[in-house]
Amino acid sequence: MALLEILVYPDKRLRERAKPVEVFDDELKQLVKDMAETMYDAPGIGLAAIQVDVPKRVIVMDLSEERNDLKVFINPEIEAIEGKQEYEEGCLSVPGVFATVERIERVRIKALNVEGEPFEIEADGLLSVCIQHEVDHLDGKVFVDYLSRLKQDRVRKKMLKEIKESQAA
């Protein structure tokens, strides 16, 4: 068990496109465990492997208040069903920044579990927002990309300043 380091925006490694998982072995299970632990500690409700510098298509999520409902999505694919929704998102790779992003309201998710078995679910509300946010990560996208140029610049400067300060300290 280990806490993994979360990459902080605008780290270039967050821009990488993650590769599908092909081998379902103990190493993958360990990665999922460590990612879950890292997410709970943050605290977050979702984490993509790319955020801990592992460019694989692996996502962990837990939306429950009790933090006892871990969901794992490997090689996920999202299909839009209907609608639009707005939600104020925050990201473990962009600490302290929250901004409203428009997403699809209802989606269908096809993915594999940690054993490599396929499953399919439909999602709306926060679950839908979160899975879209995490799948974006796998494609090298961060929620900040949806904001205006001006806001993106402001976020970038703010994060760089904080990284500098924490290194100085």
Partner 1 sequence: MAKPNLQLVAAHTLRDVIDQGRSLDRTLESEAQRLGAEQRPSLHEIAYGGLRFYSYFDGLLAQLIAKPIRRKDRMVHFLLIVGLYQLKHMRTPDHAAVNQTVKALAASKQSWAKGLVNGVLRQFLREMEKDNLASLDAHLTAAQRIAFPTFFYGCIRDAWLEESEKIFESSNQKPPLTLRVNQQKTTRADYLKLLAAKNIDALPTEESKLGVLVTQPRPVTELPMFSEGWVSVQDESAQLCAPLLALEHGMRVLDGCAAPGGKTCAMLEAEPSLKMTAVDLPERVLGIEQNLNRLGLEAEIRDMGLEEYSDWWDKHPWDRILMDVPCSGSGVIRRHPDIRHRRQPGDLERFAGQQFDLLETAWGLLADNGLLLYVTCSLFPQENDGVIERFLSNHSDAKFLPVASAGGISTRYGRQRLPGVHAGDGFYYSLLSKAGAA
Per CB under 8 A, residues contacting partner 1 are 42-47, 63-65, 86-92, 95-96, 98, 100, 125-126, 129-130, 133-134
Rounded to a whole number of angstroms, the minimum distance from the CB of residue 113 to partner 1 is 20
Token digits of residue 6: 């979360």
Rounded to a whole number of angstroms, the minimum distance from the CB of residue 143 to partner 1 is 8
- Complex with partner 1: residue 26 or 88, whichever CB lies closer: 88
User: Hey, which residues are catalytic here?
Assistant: 134
Cα 91 to Cα 70, 96, 101, 121, 124, distances in angstroms: 18, 8, 12, 23, 19
- Complex with partner 1: residue 98 or 119, whichever CB lies closer: 98
How far apart are the C-alpha atoms of 141 and 143, rounded to whole Å? 7
- Complex with partner 1: residue 42 or 116, whichever CB lies closer: 42
